[in-house]
Structure 1
Amino acid sequence: MKQRQQSWALLRRLVGLSWPDLPYLAGAFVFLTLAVIGETFIPYYTGRIIDVLGGHYNPDAFTAAIGLMCLYSFISSLAVGCRGGLFMFTFSRLNIRTRCQLFSSLVHQDLAFFQQVKTGDLTSRLSKDASLMSRSVPANANIFLRSLVKALGLYGFMLGLSWHLTLLTLLEMPFTMAAQKIYDARYQAVLQAIQDSMASSGEVAREAVASVETVRSFGTEKEEAQRYAAALAHTRRLKDRRDLERALYLLFRRLLQLAMQVLILYCGHQQIQDGLMTKGGLVSFLLYQGEVGQYVQTLVYIYGDLLSNVGAAEKVFEYLDRVPAVSTDGTWVPTMLQGHIAFQDVSFAYPSRPDLLVLQGVSFELRPGVVTALVGLNGSGKSTCVALLERFFEPQAGEVLLDGKPLHTYEHRYLHRQVVLVGQEPVLFSGSVRDNITYGLEGCSEEQVMAAARAAHANEFIDMLDQGLETDVGEKGGQLSVGQKQRIAIARALIRQPRVLILDEATSALDVESEAVVRAAVLSGGARTVMVIAHRMATVEGADHIVVLEGGAVTEQGTHAELMAHQGPYYRLVQRQLIE
């Protein structure tokens, strides 16, 4: 009962999504009614023609019957085309609207969500499930209304021909409904399993393609192909089971229809002998009976189909309704920003491991005009500090302040225009070099783009490209080397003229000369706040202030000379690197 209530609640939400398309659905219903009226009269005049030909031939009656049958055929055909066109137009609008809403909801989710949900699952919901649920309302509304109006009209004509035979046809309905109910329950379960299996196989393919270098380096092409084949085989077995159950269900329906037709023929023959029906009337009734049985079965089937589409919609609505753990509804947009960052007693654990504190009472400051280096062994919490500063996550305790105000109070786009991160493995998007440098910005001039490229020491290799700034970088920047991608990412950061710049191993693939040019450009920001994470001691030694993390806590702070003289954790890190 609870599952049924949830399904109906989801169905009401699906109908609500179609509300903006109500005028088109109303127009489709008008054409549907005209089509049904025309189609309903065709069997009636077919019977009239048989009676005219079987009795005393009347040319006028024959011509009138033929003419009216042609007229109703033309009207119904024209109305059917208009009805189908409007329903397809409605489906297209609803599909685009649903997928846009889902994509917008996904890109606003917090980083923890994407770490917990596989990409293949998201793309499957976005491409397949969203289309399936979008199609359900206009398509099923089309079929349901057509079947309902047609069934009522046919039953009206059948009652006029013989109410005895009409009542007899109702015997088929309970058997049809019982079989449909059993089939729907099994179909919905196997459909959900198929959707999950297809999402799983898509994830296998995505992982292999995205990590093809790793696959090639370990020579595991055969194993990956076998893994994908196993996923497809599981999907095929589920589809075979679905097809077998459908075949058995259709066989039962056909046998039931055949039994009813034999019974109707026998009873109709008796009525003709008793003078209660004409031969043409029986032919018309049989034509109506064949159609009305189909429409009644369709009405019963639609219920199960709606429930199966509701199963596809359930996950989509779950993503649409999910509230991000990290909100982006801040409104503070100051006219002037100094760029003073303060970590105040910050403690943090990742959502996937809530019992393991990665940061414990971390406190330090990043000051304008000061380059601060964050150092420590792997797993000490450096990248976590960067993630909190970028608001990928929220700390469980303490606060991260920007100019004395918590980060969550700042307007989302403003904050990420002022606080910019360049990572070790920057992500570029398909498009030109210019598109990647100006990503998220509008109205950037040629001079601004080239100035940022020169500051990142990227202008030399850009000039050597066939089309310069208009050269396509390929998917994820695959046409460029790692060092070139890093320089474009740095240019993408510098063109924004941020007040706070975070460099997380951002120059690891650059040569010494390029790194020196980039470092000079970064430091030329005047009062800009800079935080650097690097393993090269030359980069760390040049910092104005060094913060040492160990085990998720700040163990010491100071300049390179001060920390070396103290001979604490930082001194041991330097000695360890020298030995290595």
Structure 2
Amino acid sequence: MRKNGRHTLKFMCGCELGEDGCTGGYMKFGYNGGDFTSYDLKRRCGQSLEPWLPLPAVWAGHVDWGEMAIPYYTGRMTDWIVSEDDPSGFGYAIWIMSLITIFSAVTEFLCDCVYNTTMNRIHTRLQGQVFSSVLRQEIAFFHTNRTGDITSRVTADTEAASEALSEKLSLLMWYGARGAFLYILMLRLSLRLAICTAVGLPLILLVPKFSGKLHQSLAQRVQESLARANEVAVETFQAMPTVRSFANEEGAARSYAARLQDTYHLNQKEAAAYALSTWTTSLSGLALKVGILYYGGRLVTAGAISSGDLVTFVLYEMQFTTAVEVLLSVYPSVQKAVGSSEKIFEYMDRMPQITPSGTLEPSSLCGHVQVCDVWFSYPGRDDAPVLKGITLELRPGEVTALVGPSGAGKSALVGLLERFYEPQRGRILLDGRDLRDYEHHYLHRQVALVSQKPVLFARSLHDNIAYGLGPQNRKEVEAAACRANAHGFIARLNHGYDTDVGEMGSQVSGGQRQGVAIARALIRDPCVLILDDATSSLDTESQLRVEEEVYEGARAGRSVLLIAHRLSAVERANCILVLEDGIVQEQGTHQELLAQRGAYWRLFQAQEQNGNNGANTGCREECGGP
């Protein structure tokens, strides 16, 4: 069963008609220094095709058998007309042809029903597999690949590949089976005419092959151009407030139109290549038909075959040539799908460039984090380390603050603690075990992050707070919101916790987004809480409430890493680390660091000076002074 399904896909992807030229080889495509072949398409689809695809394939054979009986009885009627034998033979042929036609129609209906169901399953499964493959990639993958490219692969390219399967595979199955049956009957009817057909067959196989190559390359360029256009659209929509604030709507429209214009020109070339391929296929098929008619007429004249046999053979040969022409006409579309699927298979086969998570799930966790001599540089920038041998600890029951100028490496450290990246050297331990030893879901329930610009999803506030935890009752969600001082504004909304926040949380303010994000972290009751400038947009009252929650959680045994640009937010921390140029320059309490009059003291003085200047400016404006 599987062999039959795979054979059909093999033919579809160009094994017989592909780059290797009827040798049974596979087309190869490169990615990441490696190759994948048309066999990958068979392998991906074969998992979805089983066990239903052989059933419509068998029924298709019955339909073909029924339709091929009509030329046979047409030939018998021709012999009856020529010889004027017993008239009962004519009526018998008509009766048999009618029964076979009804049987063929019923079987075709059943075949279509099962086939369409199977193809819908393939599309759903393939798109789901591509999306899941993208989700398991490391964070660096999303930084090095444009969002528009990824979206295009998951949607447009997958749709193109599925369309080729659902529509073109049907034709390939149907006409592939028909062509095989027809040629067997042609061999039985006239060996010489069948051999003549086989000799002329390379004419209609090889000629369109060369135009198919051009079409495939253009199809891949069209998909790449569409991805670039999608990138502009996604980027513009995500940054719409910025576009509006700079009044650049026309500029964004021009940029998108320019990408679409490139796609239009490539589509024109692709259409011309497709027309060329179709024309060469039809022309070569016509030449073969004319040759068969000429040679068959000579055989009838010589008495080698009867007139009825020639009529039957010509009808068989016309159907056979049509089958081959259909196979070759859908071949460029399949080539397009193969070109589109190149990036799909790259995503599906790509292994994340990060060590897989372990299986460790202890029943209890203290939250003692140790960063041991860690060196780190972002992917593709190995010559520019962001962290240079830093060593620090997050102790249970303590708040550890991390301060420093922009670009010092604070966000890089957060990424390592969340296992977004892995250090090139050094280790990060949680309760004495490497972070890589912990199971993925368990680790991220125990280590919670709230970033400066948190992302909310287009769903209710309740679902955003409970995100990643499955169903949570309303009391648990409300309790977390109260601890984050977000319950007040949520309760004032018309739909309360059922309010949809819009795409990326666009229906709530920046401070409200931060409050919801803090509640999303607190509902997990993590043993390690990381706040990456997470209160910068909160009002004063909310900041104080959140700070109290942070320090109360620390006193209860939680490890807290507090990253802030405003030094006033870290004055109460048990330990403050000053990070500069990827190195921990100083550490101690607020008073100890001020007494050292080092890097922390300079940051503190600069903020004090800026605060005084702001206050003086406000006074001058209020008093009307110069």
Same fold (TM over 0.5): yes
Contact 1:10 1:314 in 2 (8 A): no
Partner of 1:192: 220
8 Å CA contact retained: 2:281, 2:329: no
Q: Cα deviations across residues 181-213 of structure 1 (Å, max 9, x unaligned)?
A: 212221221121112111111111111111111
Note closer, same or farther for the CA distance 1:149–1:223 as it changes in structure 2 (3 Å cut). Answer: same
Preserved CA contact (<8 Å) 2:464 2:520 = yes
Q: 8 Å contact 2:462–2:474 — kept in the other structure?
A: no
- Map 1:224-373; keep pairs closer than 5 Å: 224-274=252-302, 280-299=308-327, 308-373=336-401
Is 1:532–2:554 an aligned residue pair? no
Say whether the 8 Å CA contact 2:215–2:335 is kept in structure 1.
no
**Residue type of the alignment partner of 2:209:** K
In the other structure, the counterpart of 1:429 is 457
Gaps of 5+ in 2: 1-18, 30-34, 611-626
Kept in 2: contact 1:328–1:411 (CA 8 A): no
- Normalising by structure 1, report the TM-score: 0.93
Cα offset, 1:4, TM superposition: 4.5
Which segment is superposed worse, 146-155 or 526-535? 146-155
What do residues 429-451 of structure 1 show as CA deviations (whole Å, max 9, x unaligned)? 11111000111113422221111
> 2: CA distance between counterparts of 1:11 and 1:262?
35
Change (3 A) 1:332 1:23: closer
Give the Cα–Cα distance (whole angstroms) in 2 for the partners of residues 25 and 403 of structure 1.
52
Structure-2 residue corresponding to 1:11: 38
Distance 1:421 1:258 in 2: 69
> Is the Cα–Cα contact under 8 Å of residues 446 and 525 in structure 2 kept in the other structure?
yes
Aligned to 1:571, which of 572, 590, 601? 601
Judge conservation of contact 1:346–1:359 (CA < 8 Å) in 2: yes
Unaligned runs of 5+ residues in structure 1 are none
Query: Helix, strand or coil for the counterpart of 1:571?
Result: helix
C-alpha contact 2:48 2:125 (8 A) present in aligned 1: no
The answer for the alignment partner of 1:468 in structure 2 is 496
1:26-69: per-residue Cα shift (whole Å, max 9, x none)?
21221011011001012222344455566648653333222222
1:275 CA drift (Å) = 5.3
* Aligned counterpart in structure 2 of residue 554 of structure 1, from 571, 579, 584: 584
Superposed counterparts of 1:33-112, under 5 Å: 33-50=61-78, 52=80, 56=84, 60-112=88-140
Cα–Cα, structure 1 residues 81 and 563, in superposed 2: closer, same or farther, change >3 Å?
same
Q: Which of 515-524 and 279-288 deviates more?
A: 279-288
Structure 1 counterpart SS, 2:28 = helix
- How much does 1:73 deviate? 1.5
TM-score normalised to structure 2 length: 0.86
When residues 527 and 19 of structure 1 are mapped into structure 2, their CA distance, relative to the original with a 3 A threshold, is closer
Secondary structure of the equivalent of 1:195? helix
Measure, in 1, the Cα distance between the counterparts of 2:114 and 2:154: 24
| Cα distance change on mapping 1:339 and 1:152 into 2, 3 Å | closer
- 1:475 shift after superposition: 1.1
Tell me, yes or no, if the aligned pair for 1:39 and 1:76 is still in contact at 8 Å. Answer: yes
Amino acid in structure 1 at the alignment position of 2:587: Q
The CA deviation at 1:146 is 3.2
How far 1:22 moved relative to its partner? Answer: 2.9
2:455 pairs with 1:412: no
Map 1:400-549 to 2 at 5 A: 400-525=428-553, 526-549=556-579
Contact 2:27 2:38 in 1 (8 A): no
Which range is displaced more, 529-538 or 166-175?
A: 166-175
Aligned length: 580
CA distance in 2, matches of 1:474, 1:355: 41
* Contact 2:394–2:561 (CA under 8 A) maintained in structure 1: yes
CA contact (8 A) 1:15 1:137 kept: no
Distance 1:174 1:443 in 2: 63
